[in-house]
Structure 1
Amino acid sequence: MKNFPRFYLRHFAVAATVGLLAVTAFAQDFRIGFVNTERVFREANMAKAAQTKLEQEFSRREKEVQGLGTQLKSASEKFEREAPTLPESQRVSRQRQLVEQDREFQRKQREFQEDLNLRKNEELQQVLERANRVIKQVAEAEKYDLVIQEAVYINPKHDITDKVLSTLNNAK
């Protein structure tokens, strides 16, 4: 650094200080908000209505699948009790029936779960789209520069979830 004139060092120090002050001033004007999406999915009236709709839509099928499971369990328990006294051919035949019942139960249970998940995702997508519009409205009205929906840590003073929920729940 002997060859580097002091003049340049002084200019560099001044430029660095001015840059640091500019970043500090920018950071003070920069507003960040946070929205807890899980809370929106739990607490928004629209999300609760979607959950109720899904429960009504799938309750009959759920009971049907549960009934098949109960039938399979009782048939299996009955077979376990009677198997030692059954002739070989009858035991093999009932065992095949149980395996077939189990396959049918597993298939219906899988189809039910897939259909439920598909409908749930459709309903949650509608809630998310509406929530995102409300988040944008709140951000623009309150002059936020950035709104995030997932974070490892967030200072509660940046959480605007209550404002978003209030706007969502009061909207028609």
Structure 2
Amino acid sequence: MHKIAKSVSLLFAFFLLSSSVMAIELKVGWINIERIFREAAPAQAATKKLEKEFDKRQVELQKMGKQIQERQAELDKNGMTMSEGERAHKERDLANLNRDFQRMQREFREDLNTRRNEEFASIQERANKAIKEIATTENYDLILTDAIYAGPRIDITDKVIRIIDSGSSSGGK
């Protein structure tokens, strides 16, 4: 009998708790940060700025990569007919060029990532201000930026992009 009473009281407590939880309505929104970084006007401008800033170095790296391929092809083709000393010299030059190329590639990636992080930090800040503005004015209880699934009904990414593009959340930026 004691077990039945305990089960009934637990069931009753569950119904009370679930009915009070159902009475609370949460307004939830979801933001797709990747879309903001891809589609917002300041993000597109930052991407173009970075492309322009790093274009010359990228072209240099492409030329150097092509030069390495050409030297490797020449060594593969003519290596057997070269003297031992000449072949060793060309292999050493190719190895040095390859090492320099890898170093330059690594520095390029590091510099690009640093600049990208700098540029997109301000966009992230503007997005956060826009999200807070939307949350305050539209009475959201929760806005998420990471979810396994979010339906289109709670997706407010377009609103954030519009605010960022208009500049109203940037303090005049």
Asked if Structure 1 and Structure 2 have the same fold, meaning a TM-score greater than 0.5 normalized by the shorter chain, the answer is yes
Q: Given the superposition, is the C-alpha separation of residues 78 and 3 from structure 1 closer, same or farther in structure 2, using an over 3 Å criterion?
A: closer
Matched, 1:58 2:59: no
Matched, 1:139 2:135: yes
Q: Given the superposition, is the C-alpha separation of residues 162 and 100 from structure 1 closer, same or farther in structure 2, using an over 3 Å criterion?
A: same
Matched ranges for 1:36-115 at <5 A = 36-115=32-111
SS at match of 1:158: coil
Q: Given the superposition, is the C-alpha separation of residues 2 and 77 from structure 1 closer, same or farther in structure 2, using an over 3 Å criterion?
A: closer
TM-score (norm 2): 0.88
The CA distance in 1 between the partners of 2:108 and 2:75, in whole Å, is 27
TM-score (norm 1): 0.89
CA RMSD of the aligned region, Å? 2.1
**Unpaired segments ≥5 residues, structure 1:** none
Cα deviation, residue 109, structure 1: 0.9
The CA distance in 2 between the partners of 1:121 and 1:103, in whole Å, is 27
The CA distance in 1 between the partners of 2:157 and 2:23, in whole Å, is 27
AA partner of residue 162 (structure 1) = D
Matched, 1:156 2:152: yes
**Unpaired segments ≥5 residues, structure 2:** none
Greater C-alpha radius of gyration: 1
Q: Given the superposition, is the C-alpha separation of residues 30 and 78 from structure 1 closer, same or farther in structure 2, using an over 3 Å criterion?
A: same
Cα deviation, residue 89, structure 1: 1.1
The CA distance in 2 between the partners of 1:88 and 1:14, in whole Å, is 91
Cα deviation, residue 75, structure 1: 1.4
